[in-house]
Structure 1
Amino acid sequence: MDFIPIARPLLGDEEIEAVSEVIRSGMLVQGELVRRFEEMFSSYIGVRNSVAVSNGTVALDLALKAFGLKPGDEVICPAFTFIATSNAVLYQGLMPIFADVDPRTFNIDPGDVLERVNRNTKAIIGVHLYGQPFDVKAIGEICEDHNLILIEDCAQAHGAEYDGKRVGGFGTGCFSFYPTKNMTTGEGGMITTDDDALAERVRLLRNHGDLGKYNHVMLGYNYRMTNIQGAIGLVQLGKLDEFINARIRNAEYLSLHISRDGITTPWRDPRCKHVYNQYVLRVEDDFPMSRDALSSHLQSRGIGTGVHYPMPVYEQPLYRQLGIGSRCPVAEDVSRRVISVPVHPGLSNEELKRIADAVNSAG
């Protein structure tokens, strides 16, 4: 019985040939293929500008840098997400303020956000967690009412939609192309925006502040994407809708066939196109075993699992040491219940049945 991994990047002969062409050309660093990838990505998202960078954390870092916020300014982030979201705030000397999350979507809760807005608040980072958009309308209205910057952490949500519009096109979008994402360039990231001036600042910041050869007009960084990554990205982006459709089909199968009392399958906001970067079950109090026991049960049947994420960000040792974060009860509860099972597009029908059967037989 083959083991079913929690994630499996799908890379084939087209990606291999694209990389081989770059190597044969000798043009390995940022160049024409990166530019083409940026243009293709802009067209896909529906924005004027896409700026490719070395990874998704850098995308968040440069987006915040480009807005020129001052040390001590506050940025509201969800308490339940990967640590990179709030770490990017710390990079700037800014203060992350953690907001609680919705118990159904696990996305940032607009009501809790509103309670945390004050005169020091300058931006909100919403995360489209697991591939489901956060409540863009409600968060966007808060930003408009209080003159706040909206940054979308789209690391898990390539191709996701809110009211028919792709994420990354509402505020400033920040994408990751890590191998576990819905498309990959190995490492890599992208910043998307309709703000031409912001895009130009980001382009300068990613390349040593260089306006032309040896014409450095600001303090910048070496945060470029390589042509190798750009070549892979062009191929992967062409396959993204196919990958997404497979993830949605797989998620629908699992939701239909997992019918175990005490296990809650993912809830989808009807306004959203959920692209299921992760398929996350919630283990309820009436389930006869712990989440860890369920994970062991699935692993014993050759099924990979993950916990995304085991604690709110403010419970991480770094944030405890810094004394940052007030309690978010929903995030604390959710973090102790969630377990991810495979949903990636490489799954066969037989493997999907194995996953559902294994969950149903637990306990």
Structure 2
Amino acid sequence: MPRSTQGLMDDIQLVDLVGQYRAIQKEILSALEAVLDSGQFIRGPVVEAFEQELAAFLGCRFALGVGNGTDALQLAYMALGLQAGDEVIVPAFTFVATAEAAALLGIRPVFADIDPYTFTLDPASVEARITPKTRALVPVHLFGQAADLAPLLELAQRHHLRVIEDNAQAIGACYQNQKTGTFGDMGCLSFFPSKNLGAYGDGGAVVTHDPELHHRVFMLANHGARRKYYHECIGINSRLDALQAAILRVKLRHLEAYTRARQAAADRYDALLADCPGLTLPYRAPERTHVFHQYTIRIHPEVPGGRDGLQRYLQAQGIPTAVYYPVPLHQLPAFSSWGPYDSLPQAEKAAREVLSLPMHTELTAAQQMRIAEAIRTYLETALRTGQPPVA
């Protein structure tokens, strides 16, 4: 038998998709019923309406729904004409898809280090890795905060490079009052269910201001054809289906409220953990808004038991956490044949220290107080006694 509603309310979830769904259940079911009644499940007016609404929300000219965020990246690389043997510079500390999508096309991912405060691309590290083979820079707006785009865009202009923004974790974030994903040649989005704007399955989008790039992505995502059966190039099959688009249209109307809820939860964490020893709270860079896809703290190396000890302790207390990401990309076996790679100390340090706390739109102040008290107990005890406490 399923647990009671009260039991679900008492539990602390890393991401509470059920609670979010229940709050908008009638809207979701009505939108799905309309699609089912229409019989149009691939492309069609619902997908087109979502694309238009997404482009308007972001402030860009075009948005194209695709199968998932990884496809969005691969299609962006393809649309820009990158070839096997070309190089793209990506952060070493991010989800694998940013580099994987390039490597699948024979494009060499060149890993750069990160800024220790924002976890995003360090422009100085990027500049040191530009070679005659470099074709593009791929800043990732990690955990909901914008990368430092101004110096990266200046580097791209000076070296005649393309810019693809991986905006999978930061929809709605701003850099200098402009939405992320709209600065470069193309922006890539993921609608994985746990994202700030999440579908109930896979989904993604490619956004751009350039009509030719938009048309080329459309063609590439449709087996290389702009019209049926007339294939101009080798493409792939990657489409956002109408059921997911209907869900996303509903949730897009709530996205700004979701963002405010996440930011309010982050403010509460900040207040509850402000003077807690042995940790560093998320940094909020000036001229940027943070939409807190994750609330990621750093556990200092002098804490007995370290990050992993705290994670085990919280798990024993019924508090889920996650490590995004335990191995930087340049140290993964999947990319060993593309190396050797230099040591990237900030990415490697972050991988040892980061811990993401529960963060979602349904998180309550009482739950956060419980989480903060458990963190404080562990850190204060470990630092006072020199031993990690037993749960």
Common topology (TM > 0.5): yes
The answer on whether the counterparts of 1:261 and 1:286 sit within 8 Å (CA) in structure 2 is no
The answer on whether the counterparts of 1:206 and 1:222 sit within 8 Å (CA) in structure 2 is yes
Counting only pairs closer than 5 Å after superposition, residues 113-132 of structure 1 correspond to structure 2 as: 113-132=126-145
Alpha-carbon distance between aligned partners in 2 of 1:140 and 1:323, rounded to the nearest angstrom: 26
SS in 1 for 2:261: helix
Calculate the TM-score normalised by the size of structure 2: 0.90
Q: 1:214 aligns to what?
A: 229
Alpha-carbon distance between aligned partners in 1 of 2:271 and 2:291, rounded to the nearest angstrom: 17
Corresponding position: 1:191 with 2:206: yes
Question: Once the two structures are superposed, what CA deviation does each residue of 1:305-336 show, in whole Å capped at 9, x if it has no partner?
Answer: 00000011111121135435322111001100
Q: Kindly provide the amino acid, as one letter, of the partner of residue 293 in structure 1.
A: G
- Deviates most, 285-294 or 297-306: 285-294
Q: 1:25 aligns to what?
A: 38
Q: 2:268 aligns to what?
A: 253
Listed as ranges, the gaps of 5+ residues in structure 1 are none
Of all paired residues, the percent bearing the same amino acid is: 40
Alpha-carbon distance between aligned partners in 2 of 1:275 and 1:26, rounded to the nearest angstrom: 36
**Structure number, greater radius of gyration:** 2
Once the two structures are TM-superposed, the CA of residue 91 in structure 1 deviates from its matched residue by: 1.7
Alpha-carbon distance between aligned partners in 2 of 1:47 and 1:18, rounded to the nearest angstrom: 25
Alpha-carbon distance between aligned partners in 2 of 1:273 and 1:324, rounded to the nearest angstrom: 36
Q: 1:272 aligns to what?
A: 288
Equivalent position to 1:3, from 1, 11, 14: 11
Aligned length: 363
Alpha-carbon distance between aligned partners in 2 of 1:256 and 1:233, rounded to the nearest angstrom: 33
Alpha-carbon distance between aligned partners in 1 of 2:313 and 2:193, rounded to the nearest angstrom: 26
Alpha-carbon distance between aligned partners in 1 of 2:339 and 2:145, rounded to the nearest angstrom: 30
- Of structures 1 and 2, the one scoring higher in RCO (CA 8 A, sep 6+) is 1
The answer on whether the counterparts of 1:3 and 1:304 sit within 8 Å (CA) in structure 2 is no
Alpha-carbon distance between aligned partners in 1 of 2:72 and 2:357, rounded to the nearest angstrom: 28
Corresponding position: 1:133 with 2:146: yes
- Deviates most, 287-296 or 245-254: 287-296
Q: 2:252 aligns to what?
A: 237
Calculate the TM-score normalised by the size of structure 1: 0.97
The answer on whether the counterparts of 1:174 and 1:189 sit within 8 Å (CA) in structure 2 is yes
The answer on whether the counterparts of 1:261 and 1:287 sit within 8 Å (CA) in structure 2 is no
Once the two structures are TM-superposed, the CA of residue 165 in structure 1 deviates from its matched residue by: 0.4
Q: 1:165 aligns to what?
A: 178
Once the two structures are TM-superposed, the CA of residue 68 in structure 1 deviates from its matched residue by: 0.7
Alpha-carbon distance between aligned partners in 2 of 1:33 and 1:205, rounded to the nearest angstrom: 21
Question: Once the two structures are superposed, what CA deviation does each residue of 1:142-198 show, in whole Å capped at 9, x if it has no partner?
Answer: 001111000100000010000110001101110000011101112100111001100
Q: Kindly provide the amino acid, as one letter, of the partner of residue 222 in structure 1.
A: N
SS in 2 for 1:68: coil
The answer on whether the counterparts of 1:164 and 1:272 sit within 8 Å (CA) in structure 2 is yes
Question: Once the two structures are superposed, what CA deviation does each residue of 1:274-312 show, in whole Å capped at 9, x if it has no partner?
Answer: 000000010002323321110111112221100000011
Q: 1:333 aligns to what?
A: 349
Listed as ranges, the gaps of 5+ residues in structure 2 are 1-6, 383-391
SS in 1 for 2:226: coil
